[in-house]
A and B are shown apart, each in its own frame.
Chain A
Amino acid sequence: MSQDKPFIHPYIPNSAPGVKAEMLKECGVESVDEFFSDVPEELRLRGELQLPPPLPSEESLRRHLERILAKNRTCRENLSFLGGGCYQHQVPAVCDEINRRSEFLTAYAGEPYDDHGRFQALFETASLMGELLEMEMVNVPTYDGFQAAATAIRMAARMTGRPKALVARTVNPDKLSKIRDYALGAVEIMTIGFEGRTGELDLAELKKGLDQDTAAVYLDNPSFLGTIEGRGREIAEAAHRAGAEMVVGVDPTSLGVLTPPVRYGADIVCGDLQPLGMHLNFGGGQAGFIATRDEERYVMEYPSRLFGLAPTRVEGEYGFGDVAWERTSFALREKGREWVGTASALWGITAGVYLALMGPKGMAELGEGILQRSRYLALKLNQLAGVRAPALKGASFKEFVVDFRETGRRVAEINAELLERGIFGGLSLSPLFPELENCALYCVTEVHTQADLDGLAEALKEILG
């Protein structure tokens, strides 16, 4: 239409000139331009967009992208000890098989009739997470664990009508940044420090900060620094005495061995599903969950979709639908709770597949194996001259802080030398935590073998001399 020579592309069936002419005739117009008659002339783009030439054959497109992507060096080609909120775990083949199915991959927002499968799968994910967390109300996933934390805090603020939240400084600094942006003007965010020796929350500071304005206490357990908070009950009791909600972010892979937060008094539990069957995806596999008790005052504060089980007019048939729809922004626009929209449903379905495959034994073995491997690596690294591992003396899960201060070498230099050996060293903590100057956060999961861990220790020994 734009030019005389027809433009035929495999993605656009009606580009063929004959059918196009027939359809224009049916519409009673000479040219497609007539459909744009409401677009003022001065807004019409003259000439073509200045874009790189098209690559209409699949082969040319593949070539182009494969050449670019070849510059990436991956965590399968190298040995990675990076974590910090995105984790390298075993991804069962069945997880990929299911999330690549056209029926799930390309569906969107069908009714509970034409999309029964999506409703059931997401109900099951909520149910499986409900068992892992021992909580009865779980949402359809939001964008990521950051959003889940930020929303959980705003839910607590709405429930309590209070303007302040106390957030442990041992959360991911990026997550804290997200929470601050999201809470701005609605909830004042105050941080609570940690015990320098153990990494656990500074209880004295917490108790000082708690008052009648406190809507929520938020902490991650395990924390961003990998430490396990052992005084959850004490923290929850202090929060509850002040009338605040206890909100805990949790790594779901820890829950085969660690106590679910509800057992030590958490009211709202949240986190990220990425470790449950999603590839690293350069951080693109995140999906956030939020869970509470099944009480109306909590349920009515969720912004998310909530899929519930319901009977149909046929006996014994499972149907599904939206629970308490009249609280969402879809129903109420600005009068709804925050907003709801496209988020991370496919990853939500995948996490359900993962938990169904793992079962209770898989989750227990996963958790214990991670504890064993990270303990082993810490012991190994601690033997290196000048290295302290774990630098924080509390118990840890999956990640732990390694202190290189006494080695005389900077983390950045060490990591550069590790990279030469095909190893992605731990995340440098210097820019993030002033008190952990020249420390690094090392992450160990079930993908690491003894040879991997020994290899890292050997490499560090060489580098540190």
Chain B
Amino acid sequence: MRDITKERSENGRPVLRRFHQARWDEPIIFELHAPGERGIMVSRPEEGIREAAGDVLAGLPQGMRRENPPALPEIAQPRVLRHYLRLSQENLGADLNVDVGQGTCTMKYSPKVNDQLAASPKVAALHPLQPRETVQGMLEVIYRFEEILKEISGMDRFTFQPAAGSQAIWVNASIIRAFHAARGEGEQRQEMITTIFSHPSNAACAQTAGFKIITLYPDQDGYPDLEALKAAVGPRTAGIMMTNPEDTGIFNPKVTEFTRLVHEAGGLCSYDQANANGILGITRAREAGFDLCHFNLHKTFSTPHGCGGPGAGVCGVREDLAKFLPVPVVEFDGESYWLNHDLPLSIGKVRSFHGVAPVILKAYAWCRSLGARGLKEAAEVAVLNNNYLMKKMLRIKGCSAPFAPGRPRIEQVRYSWEKLFEETGVHSEELGLRAADYGVHYWTSHHPFIVPEPCTLEPTESYSKAELDEYLAIIEQVAREAYSDPELVKTAPHNSTVHTIDHEPLDDPKQWATTWRAYRRKVAGEGG
């Protein structure tokens, strides 16, 4: 008899999986319509109510009674369930793949126990406007978590309201705007500085808040350019919004020079710590001279990314900026927790109610599970994993890590396949689509592509050495294929749910369709 276990490994290297993603060829939900079926029943009011209320529809203002029912499909419950379960199988969650390919996003393990705790009716069935004595538990979680975040960052006050990282960046931009306005310098200080390897939202949110954006590019050594900053700062400077380590994984060693120069010019310094995973317990916003910072709880603090939210972005500020925070903030008077709405210089509300409570709770639970040493261990192992991955990635033909050559990286690396492209004609994006054939995700970079043919890998602390080796084996295989059979790579994916998508209609106003309704009219040619 054959020993099939021997056929599964080769020189101790992991064998590439013969992956194939689920392909259900699932119809669009409207195509499941079967007249008369019901997916869920709605409680009917009792007879006493119906009789007393009378014909409520007749009582609606003229023209406000819907004439035609919405053309929603009618589908029985198990069919709806099957449809969405099939779609879920056609989605590659981080729980299933070695998700180190989504750099900048910290795809770490999201503990299941935290999901269970947050799903408790003690959170799920809580209305945000309940009397304060009935929500003491939730307020206590927020208050305790604020104490932890103050220690991690060195900041003095936090708001939990922003629903995600970019909204937190918005809050910091809005506070900077309010700070200068309160000093009578709002008209004068209209320039916001950022770096090209900070998340695009630093530029975009500040622009939305009315600032003119000045973007710094790296110096010859690949670090943020101090000379460029010196040339940029002045009486018009409102502040700087930057990340560190940058998206390249390079830590800016002159960061205190940056904050000092901006302060000397009268500006404020805002630290995008969406991804702080490599520096928890290593270094803090306060010591680097920042006035404001933010963390993404769905990145560094482990909460699941939910296909793109809900997340949470928490903003921390120095004491003298606390008066500008969104209201309310959570206070403790020694006996009970309460919501303080009385911040006269507050920028107001940025998101409804108190932010994304289940996410806040999950992130608090993650911190409590790990404690101080665990947070630092997470950071150190994330950085070890990253440098290990880099060491091996750079051995793959055609791969390089531009900027700061030979220097270590913190939590991620932005690699370049420029050489591979020159030698094979295969783009980085195409390598990523071929990697999908082996069951992993792979991302390039934010735009613009300063690093040519980029890819950004961030292994976090959540993957074992064997898993990192597996990922490396996949990338190595894909790169090898680019040299030996470029067409195979350029026509990928082959084992995915769908094949190469024709993108042209998506940019053509005559053809694009974001709804079934639009598709039927514009493409299928049915009457509107």
Segment from B135-143, B230-238, B475-483 that makes contact with A: B135-143
Does residue A1 face the partner (Cβ distance < 8 Å to B)? Answer: yes
B206 at interface, CB cutoff 8 A: yes
Q: Is the CB of A365 within 8 A of B57?
A: no
A194 interface contact, C-beta 8 A: no
Docked complex Cα distance between A318 and B258 (Å): 50
Is A181 interfacial (CB-CB < 8 Å)?
yes
Q: A43 to B257, alpha carbons, bound, how many Å?
A: 12
Interface stretch, picked from A130-138, A159-167, A205-213, is A130-138
Contact B253 A299 (CB under 8 A): no
The answer to whether B501 and A321 have CB atoms under 8 Å apart is yes
Instruction: List A125-158 residues whose CB lies under 8 Å from chain B.
Output: 126-132, 134-141, 143-147, 154
Q: Are B122 and A72 in contact (CB under 8 A)?
A: yes
Q: Which stretch of B2-10, B126-134, B261-269 is in the interface? A: B126-134
Q: Let me know if B251 and A68 touch, CB within 8 A.
A: no
Stretch at the interface among A100-108, A238-246, A398-406: A100-108
By the criterion CB–CB under 8 Å, are B53 and A144 in contact? Answer: no
Residues of A within 8 A of B396 (CB): none
* Min C-beta distance of A108 to chain B, whole Å: 4
Size bracket of the A interface: 35 or more
Closest 7 CB pairs of A and B: A54-B371, A230-B61, A283-B353, A357-B39, A283-B128, A117-B91, A346-B306
B447 part of interface (Cβ distance < 8 Å) = yes
Which of A28, A102, A172, A312 gathers most chain B CB within 10 Å?
A: A102
Choose among A20, A38, A312 the residue that contacts B501 (Cβ–Cβ < 8 A): A312
Q: Is the CB of A450 within 8 A of B121?
A: no
Q: Are A323 and B304 in contact (CB under 8 A)?
A: no
B93 adjacent to A258 (CB under 8 Å): no
Are A306 and B514 within 8 A (Cβ)?
Answer: yes
* A342 and B164 in contact, given A38-B408, A358-B39, A427-B129 (Cβ under 8 angstroms): yes
**How far is it, in angstroms, between the C-alpha of A114 and the C-alpha of B49 when the chains are bound?**
51
Instruction: Knowing A38-B251, A308-B513 are in contact, say whether A145-B461 is a contact too (CB < 8 A).
Output: no
Q: Which of B46-93 contact A (CB under 8 A)?
A: 46, 48-50, 52-54, 56-57, 59-67, 69-75, 77, 80-81, 83-93
Instruction: Give the residue name and chain of the B residue nearest to A353 (CB).
Output: B84
Q: In terms of DSSP, what is the predominant structure of the interface of chain B?
A: loop
* A139–B493 alpha-carbon span in the complex (Å): 27
With A110-B441, A336-B204, A379-B52 known as contacts, the answer to whether A105 contacts B408 (CB < 8 A) is no
Please give the number of chain B residues whose Cβ is less than 8 angstroms from any Cβ of chain A in the complex: 218
Question: Is B226 an interface residue, CB under 8 A from the partner?
Answer: no
Contact A44 B283 (CB under 8 A): yes
Q: In the complex, which residue of chain A has the Cβ closest to the Cβ of B200?
A: A333
Query: Is B484 part of the binding interface, using a Cβ–Cβ cutoff of 8 Å?
Result: no
The verdict on A233 contacting chain B, using a C-beta distance below 8 Å, is yes
The smallest C-beta distance from A232 to any residue of chain B, in angstroms, reads 7
- Decide if B521 is an interface residue (CB 8 Å cutoff): yes
* Chain A residues whose CB sits within 8 angstroms of the CB of B92 once the complex forms: 103, 107, 110, 114-115
| A282 and B354 contacting across the interface, CB-CB below 8 Å | yes
Task: With A103-B88, A124-B29 given, name 9 new contacts (CB 8 A).
Answer: A15-B377, A27-B387, A37-B407, A105-B95, A108-B105, A114-B441, A317-B499, A333-B213, A360-B69
B344 at the A interface (CB under 8 A)? no
**Would you give the shortest CB distance from A258 to chain B, in whole angstroms?**
6
Contact with A along B238-272 (1 / 0, CB 8 A): 00000000000011110110000000000000000
Q: In this complex, which of A69, A134, A331 has the most chain B Cβ atoms within 10 angstroms of its Cβ?
A: A69
Alpha-carbon gap, A60 to B357, bound state (A): 21
B157 → A minimal CB distance (Å): 17
Q: Does A407 contact B (CB under 8 A)?
A: no
A342→B308 contact, CB < 8 A: yes
| Interchain CB contact under 8 A, A341 and B164 | yes
Q: Contact at A446–B63, with CB atoms within 8 Å?
A: no
CB distance A342 to B165 under 8 Å?
yes
| A311 pairs with B371, CB closer than 8 A | no
Q: Is the CB of A111 within 8 A of B521?
A: no
Residue-by-residue, is B339-356 near A (CB-CB < 8 Å gives 1, otherwise 0)?
A: 000000001111111111
Instruction: Please report the C-alpha to C-alpha distance between residue A339 and residue B392 in the assembled complex, in whole angstroms.
Output: 36
B432 and A111 contacting across the interface, CB-CB below 8 Å: yes
Per the 8 Å Cβ criterion, residues 194-242 of B in contact with A are 200-201, 203-210, 213, 215
- B74 engages A361 (CB within 8 Å): yes
What mask results when residues 139 to 176 of chain B are scored 1 for a CB within 8 Å of chain A, else 0?
A: 01100100010011000000000011111011000100
Instruction: Tell which of B122, B309, B353, B409 touches A345, judged by Cβ atoms closer than 8 Å.
Output: B309
Question: Could you list 7 examples of A-B contacts with CB < 8 Å?
Answer: A109-B102, A117-B91, A177-B349, A185-B210, A283-B355, A286-B163, A369-B44
A165-185 CB contacts (< 8 Å) to partner B? 172, 174-175, 177-178, 180-181, 184-185
Q: Which residues of A contact B503 (CB under 8 A)?
A: 310, 321
Distance (whole angstroms) from the CB of A250 to the closest CB of chain B? 12
Minimum distance in angstroms from B122 CB to a CB of chain A: 4
